[in-house]
Amino acid sequence: MGRQAKRSTEKLYLIAVILPPVLLVGSFIADLSLRSRAKKEVINQVELLSPQVRGISQSRDRLEEKLSPATTADFPTADWYVIARSGERFSSALVHDVTDAKELVPPGQEWLAAPLIEKLVDQERPLLDRLSQLIDDEAASQSNQDRQTDVRLPLSILPPVPTDMLRRAFQVAYHRGEMDRCLKLLELMLAAYGQLGNPQIAASAARHFVYPLLKPSLQYNVWNADQLAKLREIAEPLADVRSNWIATMESMLARKLDTLSLDGSSLIDGSSAVATNDQAPFETDPRHILQVLDFYESMIAAKNPGTMQHIDRVREIDNDYYNHQLPGFSLTSMPFAVALDSPVGQRLVGAYRATDSFESVIQHKLIIAAIAVRQYQAKTGDMPTQISDLRKVGLTSEDWRLFGSETLLIEGSNELLKLSTIHLKGWLMKQRNEATNSSIVVPRTTLEMWSGAE
């Protein structure tokens, strides 16, 4: 009996001593096994993703081929690059130092920078003529296949369009009251981006380069009815928010993959392959990569970009990721248990981009409404008194509805009309702080529109 008790005590000692190391080693083995399974899954998922990500590379390669043929014999008479370079000569660089150089000044008003800008624009007129010719040639020669391929080039790779030169020409034409020329320049700018890149580039270019010229130009009654109709044509198809959202997220995903040392991701920077840093155990935990892929997949799949529901959904995805998940929690990661390389740095980027998408829709509605105001004025001789007056020029309530009960607003007099929209970021901030301070006024941004030309 005594010996049996002694033996059971011995066993107890041995079990108590052996169990913790066995559990520890077992948990390490289980972790490594899960890690290895996740790694296979990552390879499969990246393989599935690669056509989208590689599309960025193909688009970039085609652009480079177009701009820089392999031998001198292939060089066209005048190429894009030459025009872009000519716009960067010594004298054109002087505009950065001049007062009011970036202002859009209406006809009849004093413009301090005018003598220099006009001089430069006169010098550059042959360059713009060449650009126009080049666009026509490109349009004629471009194969159908190129047009049909839906590839998205991120804005970080801007084709060499002489945007500054085009902006200067627009400023001068506007100041001189040459509105047909202004219209042509806007079309030229969009066509240049459209020809060198793709429709998405043209859409992004519109927001970045065309709206900042078009919007202030509508402050004065300088466009005639035909020109306004043309402006509506230019501005209306630009809001391809869904494609832009997908392009933005894919571009962010590609960059993310780049930081995770996955092949195919640094295509954005022009590399067709990347050396992988695969020296275990210092690699990024594949379970974390799976989470990142899921995160971006959810972001890309978020419905109705350019709406308030979309912003809410993106925030939900963000919150779910940061508050309810362990970012790549691992027992065997080196050196940290959770991946610090999670999209933490981009935490606000998702919501920011979603807000940005919606802001682009709002700005687009504002531009269309502003053109419609001028069309109404051209048609009736008076400024509209309320937003619903714009039905007379073909706008519907959908065109001025923003979200919920918020709409574009028209205020002011026949002399000075104020067309205003919600300032989205301010509105969101108010919504966030409403519980603590309900007296915050909903912020709006206003476009002042004078009935006259000056």
Partner 1 sequence: MNAIPREMRAFLWRDARQLIPLVAMLVVVTTLILTLWLFTDDNFDGYVPSVWIPLILPTLLAAGCGAILVGNEKETRTLKWIASLPVQPARVFQSKLLVATVALIAMWLAALLLLVGMSVAGSDSIRDVASLTKTSIPWNVSFWVVHTIFILVAGMYAAWRIENAFGSLVAMIPIAGVPISLATISYKCYLIASGHYYDQESATALATLFTLPAIALMVWLGYRAAIRFFAADPPPRVASSANESQQGLFSWIDPWKPPASGIPSAKPFRISLATLLWQAFHQNRLAFIGLSACVLLGMICLALTATQRSYNLVGDSLNLFWVAGFFALSWLGVLSFCGDGSAKSLKFLADRGVSPSTVWLGRHLMPIAIVSAALLVYGLSQRSILAGGYLRAGPMFSMAVITAVMLVIYGVSQWTSMMIRVLGGSVFLAPLLSVVCIGWLIAQWTWIGSPVWVMVICIALPYAVTLMLMKRHMDDRRDLRFWLINFAAIAVGIVGLPIAQCAYQISQFPTISESRRAELQSMAMKFGTDSASPFAIMRVDWNENDYLSKTWDGKPTGQQIAKRLDAIQDRPQDWLEIPSRASQPLQFDTSVLEASIGSAEYYRLRMVDDPSEAAMEQFEAWCEFLIEYGQRMRLSSRLWDQDGADEVAIWLTHTFAKTEMQQFWDRPTTREAMQFISAADDRNEARRRAVLESWTEYHDNIESDSPSRSDFGGYYSLLDFQSTPDFQRPYLVDRRMDVIASVAIEMIDAAENGASTMPMRQLLHQVLFDNELAFDSGPYSDRSAISAMSPNFSGNPNQARVPAVKWYGPWEQDAITLYRSWQKAESTQRQSTVPEVK
Which residues, 28 to 47, sit near partner 1 by CB under 8 A? Answer: 28
- As given in the structure block, the two tokens for residue 153 are 């080039």
Q: Find the binding residues for partner 1 in span 77-106 (CB under 8 A).
A: 77-78, 81-83, 85-94, 97-101
Min dist. Cβ of residue 97 to partner 1 (A) = 6
Min dist. Cβ of residue 362 to partner 1 (A) = 31
Task: Count residues binding partner 1 (CB under 8 A).
Answer: 90
- The residue among 17 and 441 lying less far from partner 1, judged by its C-beta, is 17
Q: Cα–Cα–Cα angle for 274, 64, 190, nearest 5°?
A: 120
Among the listed residues 138, 234, 304, 322, the single contact to partner 1 using CB under 8 A: 322
Q: Cα–Cα–Cα angle for 171, 395, 403, nearest 5°?
A: 95
Given a contact cutoff of 8 angstroms between Cβ atoms, the answer to whether 300 and 246 are in contact is: yes
b (16+ CB within 10 A) / e for 60-88: bebbeebeeeeeeeeeeeebbebbbebbe
Given a contact cutoff of 8 angstroms between Cβ atoms, the answer to whether 403 and 308 are in contact is: yes
Beta partners for residue 444, in sequence order: 422
Return all residues near 402 (Cβ < 8 A) that are at least 6 apart: 362, 365, 408, 421, 422
Pairwise CA distance, residues 138 & 124, whole Å: 21
**Segment lying near partner 1 (by CB under 8 A), choices 21-29, 186-194, 375-383, 393-401:** 21-29
315 lines the binding site for partner 1 (CB under 8 A): no
4 lines the binding site for partner 1 (CB under 8 A): no
**Residue written as tokens 């913790």?**
20
**Segment lying near partner 1 (by CB under 8 A), choices 169-177, 190-198, 316-324, 359-367:** 316-324
Q: Find the binding residues for partner 1 in span 329-388 (CB under 8 A).
A: 329-338, 340, 342, 344
**Residue written as tokens 């960059």?**
255
- The residue among 100 and 389 lying less far from partner 1, judged by its C-beta, is 100
Beta partners for residue 446, in sequence order: 420
Three-state secondary structure call for residue 329: coil
Among the listed residues 1, 4, 5, 73, the single contact to partner 1 using CB under 8 A: 73
Return all residues near 256 (Cβ < 8 A) that are at least 6 apart: 265, 292, 296, 343, 346
Residue 113: other Cβ atoms inside 10 A: 19
- The residue among 93 and 348 lying less far from partner 1, judged by its C-beta, is 93
Among the listed residues 16, 140, 435, 441, the single contact to partner 1 using CB under 8 A: 16
- The residue among 48 and 331 lying less far from partner 1, judged by its C-beta, is 331
Among the listed residues 132, 259, 309, 325, the single contact to partner 1 using CB under 8 A: 325
Min dist. Cβ of residue 182 to partner 1 (A) = 20
Q: Find the binding residues for partner 1 in span 254-273 (CB under 8 A).
A: 266, 269-273
**Segment lying near partner 1 (by CB under 8 A), choices 63-71, 206-214, 222-230, 397-405:** 63-71
**Segment lying near partner 1 (by CB under 8 A), choices 172-180, 327-335, 374-382, 446-454:** 327-335
**Segment lying near partner 1 (by CB under 8 A), choices 46-54, 295-303, 319-327, 424-432:** 319-327
Given a contact cutoff of 8 angstroms between Cβ atoms, the answer to whether 260 and 278 are in contact is: no
Closest CA to 171 of 193, 191, 189: 189
Min dist. Cβ of residue 196 to partner 1 (A) = 12
Q: Find the binding residues for partner 1 in span 140-179 (CB under 8 A).
A: 156, 160
Q: Find the binding residues for partner 1 in span 104-143 (CB under 8 A).
A: 111-119, 123, 126-127, 130
Beta partners for residue 448, in sequence order: 418
- The residue among 284 and 357 lying less far from partner 1, judged by its C-beta, is 284
- As given in the structure block, the two tokens for residue 239 are 């809001």
Min dist. Cβ of residue 264 to partner 1 (A) = 11
Return all residues near 64 (Cβ < 8 A) that are at least 6 apart: 270
212 lines the binding site for partner 1 (CB under 8 A): no
The DSSP annotation for 34-59 comes to HHHHHHHHHHHHHHHHHHHHHHHHHH
**Segment lying near partner 1 (by CB under 8 A), choices 45-53, 65-73, 205-213, 394-402:** 65-73
Pairwise CA distance, residues 309 & 302, whole Å: 9
